[in-house]
């Protein structure tokens, strides 16, 4: 189709905008329109207009309109939307777009309210294109401009995404991410422009996968402020195909991938979220009632359930944490505990002597030990220094932190010391106030989380995938929103999972959170539901704010010390019960919650989105028995009197 100075090279009807965040769509919330690619005045434009505004395409002038004071396209007060909304296929525009407005049809009346959603953008202004996940009821595309804003998501109810991408590939080079096949980075066919773009971003002057890897391995020296640049390209460590411009090489979806029509594929239907109430902490008197004649704990399952529902009183933590972290056996007697502690004390000091006996001259020839010592000294000097227990230049607690971490390098040669471990040891030493007890309790904690610090980062990748899996079932609209803002990888949750929310809550709240998580109740991976609970609490702020990826990262980082641990734990438990009550819970979600054995025990990562497999509920496998060797007595008591944890400064 041609006219004076322009040519329509592509046109597709049945392309909708979803403008409502409500669960039940009203007729005005779905705006049907026409998408066109138009060549005009040595430029190529992508234009969308509602059907009532589309008119005869021969009569549309595809020119950008100057913004003036009387421009009817100037946006008025932006509407707000209720976030309560629709199922798995929903990707909506939660803020009014601010696009380039197309000229009205000749002789037409001023645009209707729906006409304000029309937009026209030059292909040269596009930065990236994201496709929807396969298996939804229809496909959608999200276009991101060079200015960083997202255009309204285009929902192709009658198919056509592949055809549009093929047409766009005539004018643009679409570089696919090898790790995210749904994301295309847009470049002009001018190879020098492509090279300059990569140089400007400083993403490809070195191996981009190493950029991400270094951040994952060293999340504290690579600060969150610098992470904002990586976030925009985190999903792919993108590697453009430098000299491929022909459309046959475009990495499009397979030809047999269906692009269904308007039929809605229903997502997992969860029941109502139950009300949950937290209990009071377990007191020393209640703990004593569980002790038998020989000092053996009785009714351990009931005791763990009480710790899960209420936590521990501060005076009881010093004793109870040794059991929760596997240092003392739940089944052992008092005499067995004492014998076990004597044995572990000797073992600890033998390992400590190994590095203590290394002379300065020897250490100069041992770069590994010297590197560990330097890193530990640097980290210890800035760990929880606002806490009274660690404040001051000559604090004995700092020396013990240093010694315990160096001894752990002797205990676990393969792992050694990695930044972040000092954050995990600090609360344990604060509670136990004993060097040997703190070391073995720390070893028990590291048995749970040592994978977080491995160089391969496979454990962290798997946990982020599992977190996304749970969130996709619990709140598909929130997932779609984050996905549309290039934040669907949930990389802003990395620090949460790495050190179990140590820097997100005040110090006394961290003690309560950890002892609840250490019970292993109500199933494995409760820490992932804690992350879901925080995101659930912040969903309205995120979805109604119009945040981009950098603003989302900034908002999440600013939640530090502003969260209530009791509110988060209450919500996390409610989410667990809501999920487990669903009779059609996908099998891979059951695996994450411990309701079914893993199909592949050593598979690296779960699928990114839940697969609607038939649920085959299997009771969780019983936890392996804790070490039943005899256990007990303590050594090297710290001189300062311990204080109530609630009075500690975070």
Answer for the pair 351, 447: CB distance below 8 angstroms, yes or no: no
Distance CA 593, CA 470 (A): 9
Q: How far is Cα 574 from Cα 421, in angstroms, rounded to an integer? A: 30
- In 110-233 the beta strands, taken as DSSP E runs, fall at 119-122, 126-131, 139-145, 154-156, 172-177, 180-188
* Percent of all residues in the chain with a pLDDT value above 90, rounded to a whole number: 51
The predicted-structure confidence for 291-300, as pLDDT tens digits, reads as follows 998 999 999 9
Judge whether residue 71 has pLDDT over 50.
no
- The residues spanned by each domain of the chain are 6-20+28-54+118-187, 332-448, 458-593
- Which residue did the predictor score with more confidence, 18 or 481? 481
Q: Which residue has the tokens 């803002």?
A: 485
Of 613, 609, 611, 612, nearest to 488 by C-alpha is: 609
Lowest-pLDDT choice from 36-50, 194-208, 387-401? 194-208
pLDDT digits (tens, 9 = 90+) for 305-353: 999 999 999 999 999 999 999 999 999 999 999 999 999 999 999 999 9
Q: Six-digit token pair at 500?
A: 């179990």
Of residues 338 and 200, the one with the higher pLDDT is: 338
pLDDT, tens digit, 9 for 90 and up, residues 466-488: 999 999 999 999 998 999 888 99
Local confidence band at 634 (pLDDT 50, 70, 90 cut-offs): very low
- Separation of alpha carbons 491 and 84, rounded Å: 24
**Which single residue is written with the structure tokens 């969903």?**
539
pLDDT band at residue 51 under the 50/70/90 scheme: confident
Nearest to 569 by CA among 493, 490, 510, 495: 510
Q: What is the dihedral of CA 112, 113, 115, 116, to 10 degrees?
A: 140
Whether 79 shows a pLDDT value over 70: the answer reads no
Judged against a pLDDT cut of 80, whether residue 131 lies above it is answered with yes
In the predicted model, is pLDDT for residue 76 greater than 50?
no
Distance CA 21, CA 90 (A): 9
What digits encode the pLDDT tens for the residues 394-408? 899 999 999 999 999
Q: How confident is the model at residue 382 (pLDDT cuts 50, 70, 90)?
A: very high
Q: DSSP code of 116?
A: G
Three-state SS string across 190-208, please? CHHHHHHHHHHHCCCCCCH
Span 271-285, average pLDDT:
96
Burial degree of 167 (CB within 10 A; 0-12, 13-18, 19+): middle
The percentage of residues in the chain with a pLDDT greater than 70, rounded to a whole number, is 67
The answer on pLDDT for 555 being more than 80 is: yes
Q: Report the pLDDT value the prediction gives residue 20, as an integer from 0 to 100.
A: 64
What pLDDT digit, counting tens, does each position of 418-434 carry?
Answer: 999 999 999 999 999 99
Helix (H) or strand (E) holding 567: helix 565-580
Instruction: Say how many CA atoms lie within 13 Å of 620 toward its Cβ.
Output: 17
At 66, is the pLDDT very low, low, confident or very high (cuts 50, 70, 90)?
Answer: very low
| C-alpha to C-alpha distance for 217 and 395, rounded to whole angstroms | 29
Closest CA to 610 of 255, 135, 278: 135
The CATH architecture that domain 332-448 belongs to is Orthogonal Bundle (1.10)
What's the pLDDT score for residue 576?
Answer: 98
pLDDT score of 77 more than 70: no
Least confident range of 32-36, 299-303, 517-521: 32-36
The DSSP bridge pattern shows strands 43-50 and 172-177 to be unpaired
**What are 461's two structure tokens?**
């990748």
pLDDT tier at 138 (50, 70, 90 boundaries)? Answer: confident
CATH of 6-20+28-54+118-187, one of 3.30.365.10, 2.102.10.10, 3.40.50.10420, 2.30.29.230: 2.30.29.230
* Beta bridge partner(s), residue 185: 128, 175
Q: Mean pLDDT of all residues in the chain? A: 76
pLDDT at residue 499 in the model:
97
Q: Which of 197, 291, 181, 306 is nearest to 242 (CA)?
A: 197
Task: Of 134, 124, 167, 130, give the one whose Cα is nearest residue 151.
Answer: 130
Residue 159 confidence (pLDDT)? 85
Reply yes or no on whether the pLDDT at 150 is more than 50. Answer: yes
Instruction: Report the run of H or E that residue 578 belongs to, with start and end.
Output: helix 565-580
CATH number given to 458-593: 1.10.472.80
Structure tokens at 68: 């003036």
At a CB cut-off of 8 Å and minimum separation 6, what does 75 contact? 96, 98, 116
Give the DSSP letter of residue 151: P
| Model confidence pLDDT, tens digit, residues 5-15 | 788 999 999 89
* Structure token pair of residue 12: 């597709």
**d(C-alpha 201, C-alpha 233), whole Å:** 10
pLDDT band at 381, cuts 50/70/90? very high
Total number of residues shown for the chain: 650
| Residue 452 main-chain phi, psi, to 5 deg | -60, -25
pTM recorded for the entire structure: 0.59
The C-alpha angle with vertex 185 and arms to 223 and 37, in degrees rounded to 5, equals 145
- The pLDDT of 30-53, averaged and rounded, is 87
Tokens 């990389």 belong to residue: 491
CA distances, 62 to each of 6, 38, 58, 109, 118 (Å): 8, 8, 10, 17, 12
The angle subtended at Cα 419 by Cα 413 and Cα 424, nearest 5°, is 90
Nearest CA to 102 out of 15, 3, 35 is that of 35
Residue 146 has pLDDT above 90, yes or no: no
89-102 pLDDT, tens digit per residue, is 333 333 333 444 34
**Joined tokens for residue 129:** 């294109």
Higher pLDDT, 39 or 56: 39
SS (H, E, C) 328-391: CCCCCCHHHHHHHHHHHHHHHHHHHHHHHCCCHHHHHCCHHHHHHHHHHHHHHCCCCCCCCCCC
What's the pLDDT at 508?
Answer: 97
Q: Which residue has the higher pLDDT, 166 or 191?
A: 166
- Residue 171 DSSP class: T
438-475 per-position pLDDT tens digit: 999 999 999 999 999 999 999 999 999 999 999 999 99
pLDDT of residue 580: 96
The dihedrals phi and psi of 375, each to the nearest 5 degrees, come to -65, -40
- pLDDT band at residue 42, thresholds of 50, 70 and 90? confident
pLDDT for position 86: 31
Answer whether residue 75 shows pLDDT above 60.
no
CA torsion through residues 639, 643, 645, 650, sign:
negative
Q: What is the pLDDT of residue 112?
A: 53
Q: Which residues, 6 or more positions from 306, have their beta carbon under 8 angstroms from its beta carbon?
A: 279, 282, 286
Range ranked top by mean pLDDT from 17-21, 105-109, 579-583: 579-583
Chain centroid to CA 376: 28
Give the tokens for residue 507.
């110090």
Check residue 183 and give its pLDDT: 83
* Choice between 108 and 533, residue whose per-residue pLDDT is larger: 533
For 185, 269, 310, 425, the CA distances from 591, given in Å and listed in that order, are 35, 18, 26, 30
Least confident of 149-153, 359-363, 636-640: 636-640
Q: What value does the CA radius of gyration of the chain take, rounded to a whole number of Å?
A: 29
**Tokens for 128?**
């990236």
3-state helix, strand, coil in the chain (%, to 5): 40, 10, 45
* Burial (0-12, 13-18, 19+ Cβ within 10 Å), 288: exposed
């Amino acid at each position: 189709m041609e006219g004076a100075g322009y040519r329509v090279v592509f046109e597709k009807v049945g392309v909708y905008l979803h403008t409502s965040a409500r669960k039940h769509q009203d007729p005005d919330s779905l705006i049907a329109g026409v998408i066109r690619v138009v060549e005009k005045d040595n430029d190529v434009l992508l234009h969308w207009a509602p059907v009532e505004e589309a008119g005869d395409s021969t009569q549309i002038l595809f020119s950008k309109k100057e913004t003036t004071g009387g421009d009817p396209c100037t946006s008025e007060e932006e509407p707000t939307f209720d976030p309560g909304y629709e199922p798995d296929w929903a990707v909506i525009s939660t803020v009014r777009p601010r696009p380039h407005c197309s000229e009205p049809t000749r002789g037409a009346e001023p645009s209707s309210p729906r006409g304000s959603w029309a937009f026209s953008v030059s292909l040269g202004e596009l930065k990236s294109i994201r496709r929807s996940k396969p298996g939804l009821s229809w496909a959608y595309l999200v276009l991101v401009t060079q200015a960083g804003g997202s255009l309204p998501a285009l929902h192709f109810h009658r198919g056509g995404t592949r055809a549009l991408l093929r047409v766009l590939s005539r004018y643009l080079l679409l570089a696919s991410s090898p790790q995210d096949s749904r994301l295309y980075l847009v470049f002009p066919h001018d190879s020098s422009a492509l090279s300059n773009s990569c140089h400007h971003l400083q993403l490809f002057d070195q191996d981009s996968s190493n950029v991400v890897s270094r951040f994952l391995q060293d999340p504290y020296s690579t600060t969150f402020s610098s992470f904002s640049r990586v976030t925009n390209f985190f999903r792919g460590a993108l590697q453009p195909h430098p000299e491929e411009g022909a459309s046959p090489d475009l990495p499009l979806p397979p030809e047999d991938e269906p692009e269904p029509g308007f039929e809605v594929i229903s997502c997992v239907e969860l029941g109502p979220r139950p009300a949950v109430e937290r209990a009071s902490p377990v007191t020393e008197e209640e703990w004593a009632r569980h002790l038998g004649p020989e000092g053996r704990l009785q009714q351990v399952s009931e005791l763990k359930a009480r710790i899960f529902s209420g936590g521990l009183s501060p005076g009881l933590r010093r004793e109870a944490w040794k059991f929760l972290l596997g240092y003392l056996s739940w089944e052992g007697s008092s005499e067995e505990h004492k014998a076990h502690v004597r044995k572990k004390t000797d073992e600890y000091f033998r390992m400590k002597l190994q590095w203590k006996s290394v002379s300065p001259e020897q250490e100069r020839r041992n770069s590994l030990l010297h590197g560990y010592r330097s890193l530990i000294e640097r980290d210890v000097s800035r760990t929880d220094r606002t806490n009274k227990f660690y404040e001051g230049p000559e604090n004995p607690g700092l020396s013990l932190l240093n010694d315990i971490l160096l001894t752990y390098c002797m205990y676990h040669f393969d792992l050694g010391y990695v930044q972040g471990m000092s954050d995990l040891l600090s609360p344990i030493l604060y509670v136990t106030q004993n060097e040997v007890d703190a070391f073995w309790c720390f070893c028990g904690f590291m048995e749970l989380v040592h994978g977080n610090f491995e160089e391969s980062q496979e454990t962290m990748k798997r946990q982020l995938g599992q977190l996304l899996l749970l969130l996709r079932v619990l709140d598909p609209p929130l997932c779609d929103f984050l996905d549309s803002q290039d934040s669907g990888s949930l990389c802003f949750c990395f620090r949460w999972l790495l050190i179990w929310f140590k820097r997100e809550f005040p110090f006394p709240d961290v003690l309560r959170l950890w002892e609840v998580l250490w019970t292993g109740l109500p199933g494995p991976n409760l820490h992932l539901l804690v992350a879901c609970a925080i995101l659930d609490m912040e969903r309205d702020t995120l979805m109604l704010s119009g945040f981009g990826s950098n603003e989302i990262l900034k908002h999440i980082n600013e939640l530090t010390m502003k969260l209530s641990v009791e509110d988060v734990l209450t919500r996390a438990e409610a989410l667990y019960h809501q999920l487990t009550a669903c009779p059609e819970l996908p099998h891979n979600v059951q695996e994450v919650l411990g309701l079914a054995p893993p199909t592949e025990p050593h598979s690296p990562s779960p699928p990114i989105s839940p697969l609607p497999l038939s649920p085959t509920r299997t009771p969780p496998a019983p936890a392996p028995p804790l070490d039943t060797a005899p256990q007990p007595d303590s050594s090297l008591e710290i001189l300062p009197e311990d204080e109530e944890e609630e009075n500690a400064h975070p």
